[in-house]
């Protein structure tokens, strides 16, 4: 399988382990103008993105790993509520520092749980069933976890940059992030 020659558990782990510190460096202590703003109606702020990442750590990634290992394709994954953070009231009053700390702790625990599974190369081709996408492998799930982090770093840089869309004046045309309109599936 072409995907397996490229995927490496250690290399995926290297990305996953760095994301909490990356988000911490980018967001902790930033003025609220950066943290509370979004890109317009029905778009996400840095707070919403952190809430989404935390929800994923709690309900999505490692639970799906365990479903693959324990049930294979027999039990489809629970759907991931990608908008849970928008309806969970406790996040609205939270400080960004609390969200960053929660995410860092959950990620650390999840990566420790992943390591404890002592996955072997042959485990990585084990299959599960995604409720919409159908058959997927464990390595695809783990690669997606890492790229999902990068998707939200990508989004965060765009949300922050959006606030200075006017402020940069004619340089707008040179700044790639200001041309990005987002690419998430509906």
By CB under 8 A, name the binding residues for its own copies: 2-4, 6-8, 10-12, 14-15, 18, 21-22, 24-26, 29-31, 33-34, 130, 133-134, 136-137, 139-141, 143-144, 146-148, 150-151, 153-155, 157-158, 160-161, 163-164, 166-171, 173-180, 182-185
Show Cβ contacts of residue 93 under 8 Å, excluding neighbours closer than 6 positions. Answer: none
Show Cβ contacts of residue 111 under 8 Å, excluding neighbours closer than 6 positions. Answer: 13, 16, 17
Q: How far apart are CA 139 and CA 123, in angstroms?
A: 8
Smallest distance from the beta carbon of 170 to its own copies, in angstroms?
4
DSSP code of residue 40: S
Smallest distance from the beta carbon of 50 to its own copies, in angstroms?
15
Nearer to its own copies, 69 or 153 (CB): 153
Smallest distance from the beta carbon of 114 to its own copies, in angstroms?
16
Q: Is 76 exposed, middle or buried (0-12, 13-18, 19+ CB in 10 A)?
A: middle
Smallest distance from the beta carbon of 40 to its own copies, in angstroms?
15
What residues are paired with 130 via a beta bridge? 134
Nearer to its own copies, 49 or 54 (CB): 49
């Amino acid at each position: 399988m072409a995907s397996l020659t490229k995927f490496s558990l250690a290399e995926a782990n290297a990305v996953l382990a760095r994301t909490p510190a990356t988000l911490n460096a980018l967001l902790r202590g930033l003025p609220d103008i950066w943290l509370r703003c979004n890109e317009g109606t029905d778009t996400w702020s840095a707070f919403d993105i952190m809430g989404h990442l935390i929800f994923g750590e709690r309900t999505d990634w490692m639970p799906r790993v365990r479903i693959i290992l324990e049930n294979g394709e027999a039990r489809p994954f629970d759907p991931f509520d990608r908008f849970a953070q928008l309806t969970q009231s406790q996040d609205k009053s939270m400080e960004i520092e609390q969200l960053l700390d929660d995410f860092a702790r959950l990620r650390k625990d999840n990566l420790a749980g992943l390591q404890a599974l002592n996955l072997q190369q042959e485990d990585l081709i084990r299959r599960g069933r995604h409720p919409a996408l159908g058959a997927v492998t464990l390595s695809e799930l783990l690669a997606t976890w890492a790229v999902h982090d990068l998707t939200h770093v990508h989004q965060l840089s765009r949300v922050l940059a959006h606030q200075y869309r006017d402020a940069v004046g004619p340089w707008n045309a040179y700044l790639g992030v200001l041309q990005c309109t987002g690419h998430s599936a509906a």
